Chains A and B, each alone.
Chain A
């Protein structure tokens, strides 16, 4: 483990930015954190987390897949792919780091999504341990420890110092570059903070939330649960939850006719939308209840079924804060999962 003083952090950023594009959470004019590129004078946000998740770095909201150039009646296919540049994402919380594992299992599984893997290969994740979890946090439900974030490099920030721990070769190589600005230290230095935060975690309102009732093999049991009706009753069918979610990975592929050719692009899609997975025979899920159920069954049952029991929720709490009608996965888990979850 290495450390540097908090004052030196900007110099570290500058050093990283010398070799890579560096992104980190920055407050906008309304005080909301979002990932922005670092430049001289840009300040790292104090917010617990960004409004949007960092999944954009690897799985952007829209991305061109290929192009077709039309002249007369001839069509020429254009490969629009470029090799990504190396980049560093700093300040990723433990929950969001975990979300990359979940996305990887979808996009890196055969057949590999070359667009995603290209970015993933070139991205270096520097995570940051949480110090002040919010009431909406429930990462522990999915076995995530916010004091031990994964990533290529893990960072702990105290009032005066910043501690750096590399977890991967990529991380080690980057940390190597920061030799001059950091000094070696004992890994125990952050234990105090870890203990403190662990204690807070136990006091969180959602501390007792478990996913025990969910997971692989629960489809039959949960699919026809009567509670889906009332849970989905007020759902507006907007895509807020899916678009701010770090693990939602559904997309649609569409063609855009530019007049001179066609751009084939993909964009995020939301299972909450009425047009989601619409086929020539129509939509498979006709009601908002079915669409609503799909989202939570996917996160809590179908995904684990296909991925060794891993849930595709990381408990970041974004949907708890942002749903226009305050319906969210926690309410679903508590309602479907029974009273003992409260």
Chain B
């Protein structure tokens, strides 16, 4: 259960709206059920009181919306940012993707977001409502008379299981208490794949990436993918395609996408969250992050504004491309 309440957020938004600090509010709107929450722009108190929601399903990272939304907004826009969202926020600022002056960022603590698919796997279909109490989620379904209780932690989204930081790295105002950067085990899975033989690695990724339907959800949700025109939509780029015709194109899309965000990816996990085919896309991005950390020193994209991303930087004694394998493990 989230420590900060929906009412606290609404009150904050209403006060900022009424004192003229902000013109509108970027927040979460309730859906049909308790889990299908949509990002929305709220313009007044009525809209907020009626439709604003804050619960364990508010996973969407708003940072990316700021690129397009601030262009349309004349005054300031209030945005609520969870700790992991603030990294994307900073990274976008580093890349001059929106005007900081047009945003009023309110940092809000996050206790971890739930993955509805994990809940469905645990409780079955037919979920009518979900309510949180303490560290439990009580799930009411069509097919069981009693609510099914699951621990929130057991149904955390992948990125929340491996949460890297409860600390906000950017905000104008903070609600609740700030946390710390966390020593996570987020690279363990990458290390497991690295430890496989090349044949196993190939088979692993072949299986994962073959499910890709090129819906582009990973790209479109990614806060690092804010290109005015994506190379995959650009007929002149030479790699444009609407659907992968074969396994090469499946791989190419994901390699190039991961490479494009390498050094800029904050590991917010949106790609894996939105993938309708459950491809563990974060494992591609994390591979780059892990490599960057080990080759060039620890680097967390978005930790600060204005840092030089590792791929637009160098030192004269960087390791040679041929040496990466010596470091990466012995599975030739």
Contacts and interface: CB of A to CB of B under 8 A. Distances in A.
**A-B interaction:** yes
B127 interface: yes
Nearest to B277: A51
Given A134-B127, A238-B221, A334-B32, 6 more contacts: A205-B128, A238-B216, A239-B216, A243-B215, A244-B276, A269-B242
Contacts of B233: 273-275
CB-based closest 6 A-B pairs: A324-B274, A267-B243, A326-B36, A134-B125, A236-B220, A238-B217
11 contacts: A132-B126, A132-B142, A135-B33, A234-B40, A234-B60, A236-B217, A239-B214, A243-B214, A268-B243, A324-B221, A324-B274
B126 A51 contact: no
B39 A238 contact: no
B217 A324 contact: yes
Contacts of B242: 252, 254, 267-270, 273, 275
Interface string A241-281: 01110000000101010000000010111100111000000
A320 interface: yes
A233 B24 CA distance: 13
A154 to B, nearest CB: 21
A327 interface: yes
Interface in A270-314: 270, 273-275
A135 B36 CA distance: 12
Nearest to B60: A325
A326 B220 contact: no
A134 B121 CA distance: 13
A322 B32 contact: no
B126 A135 contact: yes
B38 A236 contact: no
Nearest to A269: B242
Interface residues of B, number: 43
A206 B32 contact: yes
Given A134-B125, A252-B242, A267-B242, A240 B278 contact: no
Contacts of A336: none
Secondary structure of the B side of the interface? loop
A51 B38 contact: no
Interface string A148-188: 00000000000000000000000000000000000000000
B303 interface: no
Contact of B245 (A135, A256, A273): A256
Nearest to B216: A238
B37 interface: yes
A81 interface: no
A242 B216 CA distance: 11
Nearest to B35: A326
A236 B125 CA distance: 27
A135 B217 contact: no
A327 B38 contact: yes
Contacts of A28: 211
A202 B205 CA distance: 43
A243 B274 CA distance: 14
A31 interface: yes
Interface string B124-142: 1111100000000000001
